[in-house]
Chain A
């Protein structure tokens, strides 16, 4: 199996100015030598408590923050799904328009071809044609996240980065979205970087698991194994909260 994404010794730091009167800049090291890889068709779970640097990893991979180290990808750019589906969809636009835009921005000029693809995608993520005419606020949270996933897949990416995609959803809806992602991963042979602060969500969903603490990977392995025999103290703490 080939790697779809390889991250080597990733370091990210932010400069923060502290103090009101006598302000001085402090360098905050958010990621300290993070290395991991995602193989083709694999779902990699990235777990860690809030503030551990998970989103920063995603941003570095997407090139949204300056970093040191290596991020190696095949040429297709990854797509991104955010935590809050309501905030990720422009409230002033209809679902059909939002999906169509993803194609338009890729330079696809033929509107008929685009609308066929949009229709295909809305069905693929488990929604119906009638949803295309709706505004985001006229959908439920789960339906909105389906739209976000569909939009992310419009560019036919090889890698999908999902940053806490189910954290804002009810437990029953969470399961449905996870099932959809699993489904899509198989159908489209996707690789997924699945970010979560909740070990419960991840451990029987992903193929591999890494656990991040304060910008350092403290544990890596098969989720079942990590779950049964955690090596790191921090993982034990995460597990005990389940």
Chain B
């Protein structure tokens, strides 16, 4: 019964993400208006057949902007999770497997970083790197490393004392082989779950940062950017905030449902 619910969660989540992927793809394929093209005559155009999501305060096509914005948000989340996973796995695997002094030092640093909300940390990095899309990816990526490292470390710590590792050692397997070929596959389930949750957090973090104006720079759209711009016209043009908000909710919901199905 519980398993069935989990499966349904996964299928539902995956369908939502597939839908969003198709939606993003459609933005690249369909001959829609340029997301940054301004047209004064279309200022605040209501949703219609010609402009399904309506137009914004510069007469830009909200549909193409939501599509383009979803793509930016998605790519930033992807980059963030990629950096977090790669470095998190390397640090977590090394510290969990070898332990000792390096482990102590790295984990204390990790704990210190972990104690800050990742968004605050990312803000700190941005203040050093300056605003911009790549800077956001790097800042969020670094901010995400500790949580991945902590999870991976725990798994390696659990596995390194198991008999199968001792057997491999006895048969002459190198430490690197044991870490990569023996232990890593056993952490995949937990890691995958962490990646999905990470995606979720990254989507929200990107949106928050762009909302604050330090992420994706105008005129390029991202979901957070659009929400931030739409805020001023919430009553005049509710569709302006509604559609990017909806896209954001779908992304978060999709990854959330998928990661739920991995919970033990």
Interface residues in chain A, defined as those with a beta carbon under 8 Å from any beta carbon in chain B: 62, 64, 79-80, 82, 84, 87-93, 101-102, 105-106, 148, 151, 155
Contact = CB atoms under 8 A, between A and B. Distances in A.
B167 A88 contact: yes
A39 B235 CA distance: 92
B172 A106 contact: yes
Contacts of B188: 92
Contact of A82 (B167, B168, B173): B167
B46 interface: no
A88 B168 CA distance: 9
Given A105-B172, A105-B173, A106-B172, A82 B186 contact: no
Interface residues of B, number: 14
B19 interface: no
Contacts of B171: 101-102, 105-106, 155
Interface string B167-183: 11011110000000010
B173 A87 contact: no
Contacts of A88: 163-164, 166-167
Most buried by A among B166, B171, B182: B171
B162 interface: yes
Contacts of A93: 182, 185
A90 B163 CA distance: 9
A18 B131 CA distance: 54
A90 B159 CA distance: 10
Given A89-B164, A101-B171, A105-B171, 13 more contacts: A62-B170, A80-B170, A82-B163, A82-B166, A87-B162, A92-B182, A92-B185, A93-B182, A101-B173, A102-B171, A106-B171, A148-B167, A155-B171
A137 to B, nearest CB: 12
A84 B188 CA distance: 23
Most buried by B among A88, A89, A90, A151: A90
What does DSSP make chain A's interface, helix, strand, loop or mixed? Answer: loop
Q: Which 8 A-B pairs have the closest CB atoms?
A: A92-B185, A87-B163, A88-B163, A90-B164, A105-B172, A82-B163, A105-B171, A92-B186
Contacts of B167: 80, 82, 88, 148, 151
B179 to A, nearest CB: 13
Contacts of A105: 171-173
Contacts of A79: 170
A82 B165 CA distance: 12
Contacts of B173: 101, 105
Contacts, number: 42
A84 B163 contact: yes
Nearest to B182: A90
A80 B182 CA distance: 19
B167 to A, nearest CB: 5
B35 to A, nearest CB: 45
A151 B164 CA distance: 12
Interface in B142-196: 162-164, 166-168, 170-173, 182, 185-186, 188
Contacts of A151: 167
Nearest to B188: A92
A154 to B, nearest CB: 8
A173 to B, nearest CB: 19
A88 B186 CA distance: 14
Most buried by A among B166, B173, B185: B166
15 contacts: A82-B163, A82-B167, A87-B162, A87-B164, A88-B164, A88-B166, A88-B167, A91-B164, A91-B186, A92-B182, A92-B186, A92-B188, A93-B182, A105-B172, A151-B167
Contacts of B182: 90, 92-93
B178 to A, nearest CB: 10
Contacts of A101: 168, 171, 173
Nearest to B178: A90
A80 B172 CA distance: 13
B100 to A, nearest CB: 16
B163 to A, nearest CB: 4
Contacts of B163: 82, 84, 87-88
Contacts of B164: 87-91
B111 to A, nearest CB: 22
Nearest to B170: A80
Contacts of A106: 171-172
B75 to A, nearest CB: 31
A91 B167 CA distance: 13
B176 to A, nearest CB: 13
A88 B165 CA distance: 8
A105 B162 CA distance: 19
